């Protein structure tokens, strides 16, 4: 136990030191994004791990990353650890195929000995965890960060007219950040309605109800004729018809959902993105996309085309860069990107081809359909190896092309 504690302590210290170095080198966003991606990988593997444990399967390894072992420790019958390349992870359960050699004493706890529902649940648990993580991120974004709402109109700024120290809105006592609830009893549900009401009531005293820091206030303002107002020497309005102005700039206010109210909104948000992500995955594996990637790899001019860059798939390097850049617009945008990332990775893993999780679901389903009462059908995975190798080459080509483009021809910051 002492050895295990020392191993854990060394690992934690190493992580803290690495995070500090990354923060010193590139700022806080990079270590936060890397940590979020590692947690996403761990969440995926934890889904496999917990379902295997609940099903009574033997879990011999729980690792994050691939390549050489950076740190590991054994607790009970499972070895936990981290490998050098944080490009994924794995949970090892004996007997994933019928050709695996397993100790007869452990056969009852192998994957191949499990029932069909348990096989499907174990294989798809990682993607289900991505869905859960996406829902949590969407809920956190809606609850704690909030989203701009076009139906919540607020005051963003004041216009200073030539020759006036205070404009009509300031004279009335309006403040930046106020939410305009109604004008003369008419509810303000969008900016256009407010603008029209003000324009149509030049010189008339308007009763304006606003909400400021949770408190409703009633104020009175008189719009001035824009034909008599100037900003920087330029007339605000022209023509023969009076046009009322208060001298305010408008904005969509940030609205926070309640803890419970955010749940259905989160489900709706994730559901809509799932459909878009599914179409995106189909596009990624289309011949046209591979042709476009090949053209960009071999043609530097095409690789720097803004439209082509924004439409091409991203490697882990590109995703990390965009996630880091998104923090310039606030935590909400970062949460949105992490949510989309979870959904995309979860769906990608369910593509019905080995070595992805969806391949194991497909094989388990095929075996179940071919089985007869009293006689279980065993699929010969060896016969699928040519297809598996071909698909793996496709994945490798996709990974190599996107990684090359993201390093040599990175996408310009889309948030500037």
**pTM for the whole thing?**
0.83
Which whole number is the average pLDDT over 374-389?
88
Inform me whether the pLDDT recorded for 158 exceeds 90.
yes
The pLDDT of residue 386 is 92
Which one of 7-21, 187-201, 365-379 scores highest in mean pLDDT? 187-201
Compute CA distances 392 → 84, 378, 387, whole Å: 21, 23, 8
DSSP bridge pairs for 91:
62
* R_g of the chain computed on alpha carbons: 29
Q: Higher pLDDT residue, 32 or 5?
A: 32
Inform me whether the pLDDT recorded for 80 exceeds 80.
yes
% the chain with pLDDT above 90:
61
Please spell the DSSP secondary structure of 321-371, one letter per residue. HHHHHHGGG-HHHHHHHHHHHHHHHHHHHTSSSTTSHHHHHHHHHHHHHH-
The pLDDT of residue 375 is 87
Residue 139 phi, psi (nearest 5): -65, -45
Mean pLDDT of the chain: 90
Model confidence over 239-285: pLDDT tens digits?
A: 899 999 999 999 999 999 999 989 999 999 999 999 999 999 999 99
C-alpha closest to that of 198 among 143, 263, 245: 245
Which domains, ranges and CATH numbers included, belong to the chain?
147-255 (2.30.42.10), 258-416 (no CATH)
Inform me whether the pLDDT recorded for 151 exceeds 60.
yes
Read off the pLDDT band of 22 (50, 70, 90).
low
Model confidence over 176-229: pLDDT tens digits?
A: 999 999 999 999 999 999 999 999 999 999 999 999 999 999 999 999 999 999
The CA distance from 314 to 348, in Å, is: 13
Please give the angle made by the CA atoms of 384, 390 and 392, to the nearest 5 degrees: 100
Read off the pLDDT band of 16 (50, 70, 90).
low
Cβ pair 211, 177 in contact under 8 A: no
């Amino acid at each position: 136990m002492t050895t295990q504690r020392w191993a854990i302590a060394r690992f934690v210290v190493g992580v803290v030191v690495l995070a500090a170095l990354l923060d010193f080198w590139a700022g806080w966003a990079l270590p936060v994004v890397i940590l979020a991606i590692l947690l996403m990988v761990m969440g995926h593997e934890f889904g496999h791990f917990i379902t295997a444990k609940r099903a009574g399967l033997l879990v011999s390894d729980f690792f994050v990353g691939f390549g050489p072992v950076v740190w590991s420790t054994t607790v009970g019958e499972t070895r936990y650890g981290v490998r050098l390349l944080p490009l994924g992870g794995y949970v090892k359960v004996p007997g994933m195929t019928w050709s695996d050699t397993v100790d007869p004493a452990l056969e009852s706890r192998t994957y191949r000995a499990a029932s069909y529902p348990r096989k499907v649940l174990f294989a798809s648990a990682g993607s289900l965890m991505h869905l859960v993580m996406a829902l949590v991120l969407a809920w956190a974004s809606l609850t704690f960060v909030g989203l701009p709402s076009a139906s919540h109109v607020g005051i963003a700024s004041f216009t200073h007219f030539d020759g006036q120290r205070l404009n009509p809105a300031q004279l009335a006592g309006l403040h930046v950040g106020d939410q305009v609830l109604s004008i003369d009893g008419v509810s303000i549900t969008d900016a256009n309605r407010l603008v029209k009401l003000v324009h149509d009531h030049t010189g008339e005293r308007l009763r304006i109800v606003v909400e400021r820091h949770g408190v409703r206030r009633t104020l009175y303002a008189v719009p001035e004729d824009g034909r008599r107002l100037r900003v920087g020497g330029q007339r605000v309005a022209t023509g023969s018809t009076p046009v009322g102005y208060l001298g305010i700039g408008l904005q969509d206010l940030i609205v926070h959902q309640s803890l419970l109210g955010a749940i259905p909104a989160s489900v709706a948000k994730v559901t809509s993105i799932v459909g878009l992500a599914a179409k995106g995955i189909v596009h990624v594996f289309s011949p046209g996309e591979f042709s476009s990637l090949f053209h960009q790899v071999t043609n530097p001019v095409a690789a720097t085309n803004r439209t082509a860059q924004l439409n091409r798939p991203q490697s882990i390097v590109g995703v990390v860069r965009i996630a880091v850049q998104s923090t310039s617009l606030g935590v909400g945008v970062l949460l949105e990107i992490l949510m989309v990332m979870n959904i995309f990775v979860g769906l990608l893993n369910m593509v019905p081809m080995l070595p992805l999780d969806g391949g194991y679901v497909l094989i388990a389903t095929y075996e179940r359909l071919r089985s007869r009462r009293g006689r279980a059908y065993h699929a010969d995975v060896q016969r699928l190896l040519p297809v598996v190798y071909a698909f793996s080459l496709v994945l490798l080509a996709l990974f190599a092309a996107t990684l090359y483009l993201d390093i040599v021809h990175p996408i310009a910051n889309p948030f500037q």
